[in-house]
A and B are shown apart, each in its own frame.
Chain A
């Protein structure tokens, strides 16, 4: 802590005031001054993260207009003195169901995966159901998450459907890129969809890619073919861009054997494959790096929870990064509710050998690179979206929270359903009116 409590309060209050004025005025010019800035710019990751003290970030018209030291605040800019605090790009969750799920076990409030023997899979599209009013959005935004991949999960079939890149503004237009990715379950999960073996899963995946190519080559004649139990037309249409390598395919698998099979598939089909899971990826780190396949992993996983996870280790992230694999983090149990805990996954990876810079990159620029949107998101560089977080400490620490979160240059509200419940119940005394009358606005 470099700042005393009252100055922090002052800063928070000024941010709240700024947020209120901006809500009326729309995007405006903001100058964040006197910050320790991690831009996460540049291809090579500095092991320290390359933080620069006493630096400024200028945001104008929703985008980064300047980053550096001693930048003059543009006339009329809202000036935020960060008082030496850390500033990073907004966090980018590389795998989530945000906007698709409100309550995990409540069917009506959960659109994250189809059930039973529902016929369609790859053709599902997250943008049809993405709910920008989900309470999960402001809750995770208050944790510094500004962008996310939101994608349905494999449910009734091995393909999950098309995911989107979204922002966490909560605004109706928060789909940044539709049909940004497809997903498929392989490994033990994939075997479950395909006759109980990995052999079946890989054969089915190849078959689906072949079918998608055949359909794309001649849609008219394809309609005449019998399709007993196979993929529907809408699925084949959706798999077209995947089969030609134009749309990333997120592949859930874990074992070294399955990863080698994926590397082979990529060589054969040219799919833009991304590993999700990858508990044993460290055993094939060099091959993954050579094949340019990124890995989205959970750095906590260190148990032989399945036979495909026998080599699970908390050093997975460090070993992959050392071999040159692009990594990012995800937390499967939380799905979407606790994307705000991604920094804890990163911090634990650091405690197990990952460099600080690589951990910060895994939370910001790497997901943007993985999905091909690094020209817009993931780092503080001129012309990119004004997604900026000011933290009250080391962003990877469990004791740290954002004090300001900007999305597209707008200071967002950190108030959410959880903070409102807290404020309603922090005083349990009976009062003049029931609790239902308190803190609802």
Chain B
């Protein structure tokens, strides 16, 4: 596990060589520290030199791929997610992995199940970086409303996975929309909302059974209106300046906490070295000092310290471009990296800064106006972000219906980009819902593209996926066929839905 995690982290930086600050200044030390964050985590994991308290997961993934044979999908238009479009393409899935991708000449292994896909399109499984499935499940009742711990501006101690109800029917509908991996985020009431959960979209009895093996956690933060609105009359923050004061105070505390633990680990390592096998009772008179005592754990600070250390990705809900620029400077101040701005409605106003700093922008195709900080949305937002070199444009949903058609949302955004002359081909736009979200979640070493060795997370569409008429016909997760629009036995239905008389007329996921 440690090795594969290291592999994920090694390729995790989201663009960003030779970064410059918004003002054009040279990279600072803090910048470099932020860039090095992922590398440090990798070292720690690989060498296991430090105690693994922060990196270990007390709720480890128990996900295991379902059985699959060898499958050959051939004759389709293949968008690899790595920038290629292959006509009359062949994709071979074996042992849960992508075995090969190419044209009609790719060898067909003997005994493989053949899917004739002429006229169909094949893409990597779709990934949504912003979902609340499970935390705000169907049915939406007070009993199930578990997505937003709006009781204090900093609730970094809460973990979204502890709210995820694996029986949310939304997961099944998302599967029918081609979603194979997704990030469940806490809500955005708070400056720090808590940890995210990254899941494979495979039904399980437990959330651990859905957790994406080895995916680093994320932390959710929020800019602007929401924290102000929720806490303005509850002791603050009531202003954007107090939002920033709140973030910075928390980072200062987290940096201290991190230092305290690092000091302890150092002393402990020294002590262990002096005492040899610590289980052996020390000889009388052999005074190597008292064994250092571990600091008391603080879940809130642990999450933030891990974010500072680069072990946890920072997911910042931020609509306005000017606020994004401030957040980037704050990240520099404290030496962490903002992985992704979510709901980045004004990303187009600062698309150059984002690309320079290697930050992903996750956006809707065209939601706007529901609040003032969403007033300046434009339909070309994703396309203009994407037009920058080294950019990372993502289409996200934040919605249990939107997640079912991220392909269409990407189609909307691509069309508007093309109409302003940006010339975005399908093989590029598909990255907005596959490779780029994988990068944002630091799972791009394992999924997000159709490349040999990666998880066989694959969607066969009935046609061009960017069409309003597109439907996922077959969805494979780790090579296992988990949704087939033509086969009700390959269509999951959650506990809540079975035995409901009125729900018995279609095939579950594809309902």
Contacts and interface: CB of A to CB of B under 8 A. Distances in A.
Interface of A: 102-106, 136, 256, 280, 283, 300-307, 309-315, 333-334, 337-338, 340-341, 343-344, 347-348, 350-351, 396-401, 418-419, 421-422, 425-426, 428
A304 B496 contact: yes
A409 B349 CA distance: 37
A105 B420 contact: no
Contacts of A338: 366-368
A425 B348 contact: yes
Contact of A313 (B372, B405, B471, B506): B506
Nearest to B468: A347
A57 B377 CA distance: 35
B419 A303 contact: no
A160 to B, nearest CB: 19
B511 A313 contact: yes
B352 interface: yes
A341 B416 CA distance: 13
Closest 10 CB pairs of A and B: A347-B468, A311-B502, A399-B415, A104-B370, A105-B371, A337-B369, A398-B411, A303-B138, A300-B401, A351-B469
Contacts of A306: 139-141
Interface stretch (B33-41, B277-285, B378-386, B432-440): B378-386
A399 B463 CA distance: 15
25 contacts: A103-B372, A103-B375, A105-B225, A106-B372, A256-B502, A300-B405, A302-B404, A305-B140, A305-B400, A307-B139, A310-B497, A348-B408, A350-B468, A397-B469, A398-B412, A398-B415, A400-B415, A401-B415, A401-B419, A422-B348, A425-B348, A425-B378, A426-B420, A428-B349, A428-B352
Contact of B500 (A102, A104, A310): A310
B11 interface: no
Contacts of A334: 367
Contacts of A301: 401
Nearest to B368: A337
Contacts of A398: 408, 411-412, 415, 466-468
A314 B511 contact: yes
A338 B375 CA distance: 13
Contacts of B369: 102-104, 136, 337
A283 B404 CA distance: 24
B308 interface: no
B470 interface: yes
Contacts of A422: 348, 378-380, 384, 420
Given A351-B471, A401-B415, A310 B502 contact: yes
Contact of A311 (B138, B375, B401, B503): B503
Contacts of A302: 173, 401, 404, 511
Contact of A303 (B377, B400, B506): B400
Contacts of B139: 304-307, 309
A216 B380 CA distance: 54
A49 B352 CA distance: 46
Interface of B: 138-141, 169-170, 173, 225, 229, 348-352, 366-372, 375-380, 384, 399-401, 404-405, 408, 411-412, 414-416, 418-420, 466-471, 496-497, 500, 502-503, 505-506, 511
Given A313-B506, A398-B412, A399-B411, A106 B371 contact: yes
Given A283-B502, A305-B139, A306-B139, A104 B415 contact: no
A421 B375 CA distance: 11
B325 to A, nearest CB: 12
Contact of A304 (B138, B352, B366): B138
A336 to B, nearest CB: 8
* Residue picked from B352, B414, B506, most chain A C-beta under 10 Å: B506
Nearest to A106: B372
A425 B349 contact: yes
A428 B356 CA distance: 13
A102 B414 CA distance: 27
* Residue picked from B412, B414, B497, most chain A C-beta under 10 Å: B412
Contacts of A333: 370, 399
A422 B350 CA distance: 12
Nearest to B353: A428
Contacts of B419: 401
A344 B408 contact: yes
Contacts of A344: 408, 412, 468
A280 B372 CA distance: 35
B172 to A, nearest CB: 9
Contacts of A340: 366
Contact of A421 (B138, B376, B418): B376
Nearest to A312: B511
Contacts of B471: 351
Contacts of B384: 422, 425-426
B65 to A, nearest CB: 27
Given A304-B138, A337-B369, 17 more contacts: A102-B369, A105-B229, A106-B372, A304-B500, A310-B500, A313-B506, A313-B511, A338-B367, A340-B366, A341-B366, A398-B412, A398-B466, A418-B379, A422-B348, A422-B378, A422-B380, A422-B384
B378 A303 contact: no
Contacts of A305: 138-140, 400
Contacts of A341: 366
Contacts of B229: 105
Nearest to B401: A300
Contact of A103 (B371, B399, B468): B371
A33 to B, nearest CB: 24
A397 B468 CA distance: 5
B368 A304 contact: no
A329 to B, nearest CB: 13
A106 B370 CA distance: 8
A350 B505 CA distance: 19
Contacts of A421: 376, 378
Nearest to B321: A425
Contact of A397 (B170, B348, B399, B467): B467
B497 A304 contact: yes
Nearest to A397: B468
* Residue picked from B372, B379, B468, B505, most chain A C-beta under 10 Å: B468
A315 B139 CA distance: 20
A311 B414 CA distance: 34
Contacts of B400: 303, 305
Given A300-B401, A337-B368, A425-B384, A350 B469 contact: yes
A418 B414 contact: no
B349 A348 contact: no
Contacts of B405: 300, 348
Nearest to A101: B369
Contacts of A348: 405, 408, 468
Given A311-B503, A399-B414, A303 B169 contact: yes
Given A105-B225, A303-B170, A396 B420 contact: no
A315 B405 CA distance: 16
B148 to A, nearest CB: 16
Nearest to B494: A304
A283 B502 CA distance: 8
Nearest to A301: B401
A193 to B, nearest CB: 18
A428 B391 CA distance: 14
Contacts of B399: 333
A247 B139 CA distance: 35
A428 to B, nearest CB: 5
Nearest to A421: B378
Contacts of A309: 139
